[in-house]
Amino acid sequence: MPKGVAHKKYTAEFKQEVIETMQREHLGYVETAERFQLRHKRVQDWERIYLTYGAEGFNLERRGRGSKGRPAELPKAVEKDLLAEVQYLRAENAYLKNLQALVLEDERRQHRKRR
């Protein structure tokens, strides 16, 4: 690829043709790159995509960071159980806080009576 041509886009058909030509004629990356005026790294990347996803892989957009996406939704039964557990734990936490406050108050009263 001549220098000065920045960010040239190649069609999925062209990418497929490059890889299939390389495989059919048993060419290396450098030979294929020279024939199609590409960089050999680009040919390597395209071959990896072709071997992993097939020709359809060339139609996928791969630029930028991969999206984490939304987390998978939990089944309704699991979600319901988790919400019930959270409610129970919150109630238990509130109960323990109140109990601790009562115990501390009782200790203070006992301490005052001793004086």
So what's the pLDDT on residue 70? 75
Of residues 5 and 41, the one with the higher pLDDT is 41
Q: What is the average per-residue pLDDT within 12-16?
A: 92
Helices (H), the chain: 12-24, 29-36, 40-53, 76-114
Of residues 5 and 89, the one with the higher pLDDT is 89
**pTM of the complete model:** 0.51
Greatest extent of the chain over all pairs of C-alpha atoms, in Å: 101
Q: Which of 5-9, 90-94, 107-111 has the lowest mean pLDDT?
A: 5-9
Confidence of residue 2 (pLDDT cuts 50, 70, 90): low
So what's the pLDDT on residue 4? 45
Q: What is the average per-residue pLDDT within 80-101?
A: 96
Q: What is the average per-residue pLDDT within 35-56?
A: 91
